[in-house]
Amino acid sequence: MNIPNTILAMLVGILLTLVSLWYGQNHGLLPVAASDEAAQVDGLFNTMMTVATGLFIIVQGTLVIAAIRFRKRKGDNTDGPPVHGNVPLEILWTALPAVVVAWISIYSFEVYNAMGGFDPMAAGDSHAAHMSASSKMRGAAIAAPLPAADAENPPASAPSPNNLIAVGVGASPANRGQNADVSVNVTGLQYAWIFNYPDSNVSSGELHLPAGKEAQLNISAMDVLHAIWIPELRLKQDAIPGRTVELRFTPRRVGEYPLRCAELCGSYHGSMATKLIVQTPEDYASWLQSQQVASNPSLEKAVAVNPGNLSDSDFLAPYTTEMGMNPETLHQIHHTHH
Amino acid sequence: MQGSTIDPSKTVVNYHHAAAATDSHHEEHHDFRILGLIVFLIAEGMIFMGLFIAYLTFRAVTPNWPPEGTPRLELLLPGINTTILIASSFVIHKADAAVKQNNISGLRTWFIATALMGAVFLGGQLYEYWHLEFGLKTNIFASTFYVLTGFHGLHVTFGLLLILAVLWRSLKPNHYNSEKHFGVEAAEIYWHFVDVVWIILFFLLYIL
Amino acid sequence: MTQAELQATANTPTHSPEPGQRKWWEYFTFNTDHKVIGIQYLVTGFFFYLIGGVLASAMRTELATPAPDFVTPELYNGIMTLHGTIMIFMWIIPAGAGFANFLIPLMIGARDMAFPRLNAVAFWIVPPAGILLLTSFFVKPPEAGWTSYPPLSETASKAGEFIWILSVLLFGTASILGAINFLITILKMRIPSMGFNQMPLFCWAMLATSGLILIGTPVLAGALILLAFDIVAGTAFFNPTGGGDPIVYQHMFWFYSHPAVYIMVLPFFGVASEVIPVHSRKPIFGYRAIAYSSLAISFLGLIVWAHHMFTSGTPAWLRMFFMIATMVIAVPTGIKVFSWLATMWGGKIRLNSTMLFAMGFISTFVVGGLTGVMVASVPFDLHVHDTYFVVAHLHYVLFGGSVFGIYAAIYHWFPKMTGRMLNEPWGIVHFVLTYVGFNLTFLPMHELGLLGMPRRVAMYDPQFAHINLICTIGSYLLAVSTIPFLVNAIWSWVAGPKAGDNPWQALTLEWMTTSPPAIENFEILPVLDIGPYDYGMGDRSTEVDVPFSEAKEPVLSAGPSSVLRADPDPSVAVNPSDRQPEE
How many H-runs (helices) and E-runs (strands) does chain B carry?
Answer: 6, 0
Number of Cβ within a 10 Å radius of residue C299? 14
Low-confidence spans in chain B with pLDDT less than 50: 1-28
- Contacts (Cβ under 8 Å, ≥6 apart) of A259: A193, A207, A228, A229, A230, A273, A274, A275, A276
The Cα of B25 is separated from the nearest Cα of chain C by a number of Å equal to 6
Residue A316: its pLDDT value, please? 53
Q: Which residues of B touch C543 (CB under 8 A)?
A: 2-3
Strands of the sheet containing A182-189, edge to edge, are A202-204, A192-197, A182-189, A215-221, A245-249
Q: In the 8-state DSSP scheme, what is residue C361?
A: H
CA-to-CA dists, residue C295 to A140, C287, C388, angstroms:
52, 13, 31
For the domain that residue C453 is a member of, what is the CATH number?
1.20.210.10
Of A152, A141, A276, A286, the residue nearest A217 (C-alpha): A276
How far apart (Å, rounded) are the C-alpha atoms in residues C437 and C434? 5
Residue C256: its pLDDT value, please? 94
Q: What is the pLDDT averaged over residues C368-375? A: 95
Cβ distance B8 to C9 less than 8 Å, yes or no, reads yes
Q: What are the extents of the domains in chain A? A: 10-66+95-115, 120-305, 306-338
Are residues C14 and C522 in contact, defined by beta-carbon separation less than 8 angstroms? yes
Q: For chain A, what is the mean pLDDT? A: 77
Q: In the 8-state DSSP scheme, what is residue A219?
A: E
pLDDT in tens, A214-235: 999 999 999 899 999 999 999 9
Q: Which residues of A touch C558 (CB under 8 A)?
A: 83-87, 89
How far apart (Å, rounded) are the C-alpha atoms in residues C240 and A11? 61
Residue type, C260: A
**What share of chain C in percent tops pLDDT 70?**
93
> Among the residues of C63-190, which ranges form H helices?
73-85, 93-108, 116-135, 152-155, 158-188
Q: For chain C, what is the mean pLDDT? A: 90
Q: Which of B43-52, C8-17, C451-460 has the lowest mean pLDDT?
A: C8-17
pLDDT in tens, A147-182: 333 333 333 333 333 333 456 787 777 777 788 889
DSSP, residue by residue, A168-190: -B---GGGTTS--SEEEEEEEET
pLDDT band of C558, cuts 50, 70, 90: low
How far apart (Å, rounded) are the C-alpha atoms in residues C383 and C371? 13
Give the 3-state secondary structure of residue C387: strand
> A–C: how many Cβ contacts below 8 A?
369
Residue A23: its pLDDT value, please? 92
Residue C580 lies in a domain: no
Q: Which residues of A touch C151 (CB under 8 A)?
A: 223-225, 241
Report the predicted TM-score, pTM, of the whole model to 2 decimal places: 0.89
Cβ distance A130 to B61 less than 8 Å, yes or no, reads no
| Cβ–Cβ contact A34 with C under 8 A | no
Closest chain B residue by Cα to residue C186:
B32
How far apart (Å, rounded) are the C-alpha atoms in residues A216 and C56? 40
pLDDT in tens, C471-520: 999 999 999 999 999 999 999 999 999 998 999 999 999 999 998 999 88
Q: Exposed/middle/buried for B56, CB within 10 Å: 0-12, 13-18, 19+?
A: middle
Residue C96 lies in a domain: yes
**A279-317: buried (b, 16+ CB within 10 Å) or exposed (e) per residue?**
beeeebeebbeebeeeeeeebeeebeeebeeeebbebbb
pLDDT band of C567, cuts 50, 70, 90: confident
> Among the residues of chain A, which ranges form H helices?
5-26, 36-69, 87-115, 120-123, 140-143, 146-152, 281-303, 312-320, 327-337
Cβ distance B25 to C524 less than 8 Å, yes or no, reads yes
> Among the residues of C136-157, which ranges form H helices?
152-155
Residue A81: its pLDDT value, please? 82
Of B202, B201, B190, B208, the residue nearest B88 (C-alpha): B190
The Cα of A131 is separated from the nearest Cα of chain C by a number of Å equal to 7
Cα A15 to chain center, whole Å?
35
Give the 3-state secondary structure of residue A227: strand
How far apart (Å, rounded) are the C-alpha atoms in residues A81 and A65? 18
| Cβ–Cβ contact C245 with A under 8 A | yes
Kind plus residue range of the DSSP H or E element containing C196? none
Of C487, C394, C476, C398, the residue nearest C437 (C-alpha): C476
How far apart (Å, rounded) are the C-alpha atoms in residues C46 and C52? 10
Are residues C367 and C396 in contact, defined by beta-carbon separation less than 8 angstroms? yes
Q: What is the pLDDT averaged over residues C138-166? A: 92
Mutation to test the A interface, candidates B6, B61, B64, B68, most A Cβ within 10 Å = B61
Number of Cβ within a 10 Å radius of residue C522? 25
pLDDT band of A130, cuts 50, 70, 90: very low
Q: In the 8-state DSSP scheme, what is residue C498?
A: B
Residue A135: its pLDDT value, please? 36
User: What 3 state SS string does C287-338 have?
Assistant: HHHHHHHHHHHHHHHCCCHHHHHCCCCCCHHHHHHHHHHHHHCHHHHHHHHH
- Contacts (Cβ under 8 Å, ≥6 apart) of C150: C144, C227, C230, C238, C239, C246, C249
Residue C27 lies in a domain: no
With a cut of 80, say whether residue C157 has pLDDT above it: yes
Closest chain C residue by Cα to residue A221:
C240
Kind plus residue range of the DSSP H or E element containing B81? helix B76-100
Q: Exposed/middle/buried for A126, CB within 10 Å: 0-12, 13-18, 19+?
A: middle
- Contacts (Cβ under 8 Å, ≥6 apart) of C485: C407, C426, C427, C430
Number of Cβ within a 10 Å radius of residue A238? 29
Residue A163: its pLDDT value, please? 38
Residue C313 lies in a domain: yes
Kind plus residue range of the DSSP H or E element containing C271? helix C246-280
pLDDT in tens, A247-293: 889 999 999 999 999 999 999 999 999 999 999 999 999 999 888 87
Residue C561: its pLDDT value, please? 59
How far apart (Å, rounded) are the C-alpha atoms in residues C105 and C107? 6
Residue A241, strand partner residues:
A221
Residue A248, strand partner residues:
A216
| Cβ–Cβ contact A126 with B under 8 A | no
CA-to-CA dists, residue C237 to A90, B148, C233, C410, angstroms:
48, 12, 11, 44
pLDDT in tens, B167-205: 999 888 888 888 888 999 999 999 999 999 999 999 999
pLDDT band of C313, cuts 50, 70, 90: confident
Domain A120-305 fold is: Immunoglobulin-like (2.60.40)
Of C459, C144, C135, the residue nearest A263 (C-alpha): C144
* Residues C530, C535, C540: CA angle, nearest 5 degrees: 85
Closest chain A residue by Cα to residue B59:
A128
CA-to-CA dists, residue C123 to A36, C11, C131, C181, C435, angstroms:
55, 31, 14, 12, 31
Residue C534 lies in a domain: no
Q: Which residues of C touch B29 (CB under 8 A)?
A: 111, 189
Residue C551 lies in a domain: no
Domain span at C164: 33-495
Domains contained in chain B, CATH given:
33-207 (1.20.120.80)
The Cα of A214 is separated from the nearest Cα of chain C by a number of Å equal to 19
How far apart (Å, rounded) are the C-alpha atoms in residues A61 and A67? 10
How far apart (Å, rounded) are the C-alpha atoms in residues C407 and C415? 13
With a cut of 50, say whether residue C274 has pLDDT above it: yes
| Cβ–Cβ contact A27 with B under 8 A | no
pLDDT in tens, C100-132: 999 999 999 999 999 999 999 999 999 999 999
Q: Which residues of B touch A131 (CB under 8 A)?
A: 61-63
Number of Cβ within a 10 Å radius of residue A63? 18
Of C172, C259, C264, the residue nearest C212 (C-alpha): C259
Q: How far apart are the first and last CA of chain B?
A: 69
Chain C (15-74) residues lying within 8 Å, Cβ to Cβ, of chain A: 66-69, 72-74
How far apart (Å, rounded) are the C-alpha atoms in residues B31 and C402? 34
User: What 3 state SS string does A55-74 have?
Assistant: HHHHHHHHHHHHHHHCECCC
User: What 3 state SS string does B139-179 have?
Assistant: CHHHHHHHHHHHHHHHHHHHHHHHHHHHHHHHCCCCCCCCC
- In A192-311, beta strands by DSSP E: 192-197, 202-204, 207-210, 215-221, 226-230, 235-239, 245-249, 255-261, 273-279
The Cα of B84 is separated from the nearest Cα of chain C by a number of Å equal to 27
Q: In the 8-state DSSP scheme, what is residue C561?
A: T
Number of domains forming the structure of chain C: 1
Neighbours of chain A (3+ CB pairs under 8 A): B, C
How far apart (Å, rounded) are the C-alpha atoms in residues C450 and C120? 46
